[in-house]
Structures are given as C-alpha cells and as structure tokens.
Amino acid sequence: MTSSRLIRRPAISATAARATRPDRDALDSRAGFAAIMRRMDPIARDYDALAPAYARALSDELTHKPMDRAWLTDFASRMAGRGLGEGAGRGLVDDAGRGLVGDLGCGPGHVTAFLASAGARMLGLDISAGMIAEARAAHPGLDFEVVDLRELAARPARFSGLVAMYSLIHLTPGELPQALAACRVALRPGGEFRAAVHLGEGVLRPEALWGVPISLGFRLMAEGELEAALTAAGFEVTESLTRAPYPEVEYPSRRCYVTARA
C-alpha cells in the first residue's frame, strides 16, 4: 500500500526572503501580466468546456484525501481567528473574527465550500466563467467571482488569506514568480498563502479529460521550486509538506503543500 506519510522540509527564513525580494516595478510589469493573460485565455476556454464534467468527477474528491482535509481545516481555523496565537492575527480578521480568504482557481467550488464549513469567510475565484457557473449552482450561499491576475493585483490588501489547490500548474517557471507577486499584493501584510502542487518533471498534455478534448498542459514542479518562487516574490515560507499520492484516488504524483506569509 502506498504511504501517505508527511515529510516536513525546512522553511526559508524571513531574512533570506527579504534578501531575495525583487524590484517591485519588475513584479508589477503590465507587459508581463499581459503576456501571462494572453496564455490564460485558451486555458479559460478549455476549463469552460470541462466545467460540467469536472464538477461531476471531482466535487467530492476531498472525501478521499484526509491529509488535504486536515491541512485545509488548519488553514480555515487560522483564518477564522482560531489558533493564531496571541497577537498573531492582529489586522488579519474583521470584527467577527474572520478575515476574507480567496480560493484561487476554485473550479466548481468544493474547496471553497469546505473551508467555509470550517469557519473561514470565503470568496471563490477562477478565470473560467463556466467553472464559476458550476460553483454558484452547487453552492448558492457562497460568493464566487470571475477574476484574473490583473484584477487580483488591482485590489491591494483585499485578503487575509489565499489558497491555490493545484491552480498554479499552468504557469511556466518564468511566469510563476510574477503570479505569486500578484498574490502577495492582494494579501494584507502578514497574510497567509497556501498552495498545493504536483512534484516531478515535465508537462502532462492529455488530449482529453472525461471525454472533452483539451489543449491544457499540467506542469509538474521540482522539489523546492515553489518555495524558491515564493521567496523571490517576497513571501516568507513557513512550512513545506510532501506526501505520496492516494492510490486509486488521484493522479500518481507526489504532492507538495506549502504555507507562506506575506
């Protein structure tokens, strides 16, 4: 049986993060954003086409992934003002004790709904209007928006937390730091960012998913790549976990779960 034992990797220090922080003008380059978004347009169209089948296939995936549920529950508790420690959450929560959390690449909204049920004040975000339509239909009591990176960076300090569950996998190595910089701009100082990615090498290019033809590429990341990109974008990485895939539940790649502070 495949093990799902967690492996903790050393966090990158705040000093190192500050030392490698890039020039802000370079991170905020309009030309850079425009280039990324031109590549995102066909990706959004593919996800529009995939949305109904994706929702049917994956809306209950967390049921079979205990590590993901525990990691997300911990995040929701922190964003709800619980478990932050004395003074740690100051400025990150509203008068009700909850800061706004964005679910980046929310798809049909199942992670958004899980975090909301665990106490977080959620907003689901996706570049695909089709996915947002599925999310709104499945979770009418929650808020969802069609948002791209430009709009994310245009509203500084909007969020206390952001989570990206496998939604960074379409970015090239060159695009990743700038996309993460947009996330950092969107977070309040001290806000928390969490992301899960596939580990490995190369780009997977299936011709179809659930019978729907696509042109999507799904990038596997090298160990330490996400942590380095977060540091380059000005974050302080506080935790990195890895696990083996759950057999017969998901694609058989190792997974990495990274937590960072803006």
Q: Is residue 91 scored above 70 in pLDDT? A: no
Angstrom distance (rounded) from CA 245 to CA 256: 10
User: Binning pLDDT at 50, 70 and 90, where does residue 201 land?
Assistant: very high
B/e letters for 33-48, b = 16+ CB within 10 Å, e = fewer, are beebeeebeebbbbbb
pLDDT for position 5: 44
Q: Is residue 86 scored above 70 in pLDDT? A: no
pLDDT for position 244: 98
Q: How many CB atoms lie within 10 A of CB 28?
A: 14
Residue with the bigger pLDDT between 94 and 256: it is 256
Residue range 83-109: average pLDDT? 68
Residue with the bigger pLDDT between 16 and 176: it is 176
Angstrom distance (rounded) from CA 255 to CA 198: 5
Most confident listed range (33-37, 92-96, 148-152, 163-167): 163-167
* CA dihedral of 143, 71, 75, 155, whole degrees rounded to 10: -60
Tokens of 209: 């998913």
Closest by CA position to 238, among listed 260, 215, 216: 260
Residue range 179-197: average pLDDT? 96
Q: Are 84 and 74 in contact (CB under 8 A)?
A: no
Tokens of 61: 């995936």
Residue 15 phi/psi, 5-degree rounding, is -60, -45
Q: Is residue 142 scored above 90 in pLDDT? A: yes
Q: Is residue 38 scored above 70 in pLDDT? A: no
Angstrom distance (rounded) from CA 109 to CA 107: 5
User: Binning pLDDT at 50, 70 and 90, where does residue 4 land?
Assistant: very low
Q: Is residue 25 scored above 70 in pLDDT? A: no
Percent share of the chain, pLDDT over 70: 78
pLDDT for position 35: 59
The secondary structure of residue 156, as a DSSP letter, is T
Residue range 170-176: average pLDDT? 90
Residue with the bigger pLDDT between 31 and 125: it is 125
Angstrom distance (rounded) from CA 147 to CA 183: 12
* CA dihedral of 123, 129, 131, 134, whole degrees rounded to 10: 90
pLDDT for position 2: 37
pLDDT for position 37: 59
**pLDDT tens, position by position, 100-135:** 999 999 999 999 999 999 999 999 999 999 999 999
Q: How far is CA 40 from CA 46, 126, 215, in A?
A: 10, 11, 12
pLDDT for position 1: 36
Residue with the bigger pLDDT between 31 and 66: it is 66
Mean pLDDT of the chain: 85
User: Binning pLDDT at 50, 70 and 90, where does residue 36 land?
Assistant: low
pLDDT for position 13: 42
* CA dihedral of 17, 149, 163, 99, whole degrees rounded to 10: 90
Q: Is residue 184 scored above 90 in pLDDT? A: yes
pLDDT for position 81: 83
Tokens of 29: 């380059």
What domains lie within the chain, and their CATH numbers?
7-80+97-261 (3.40.50.150)
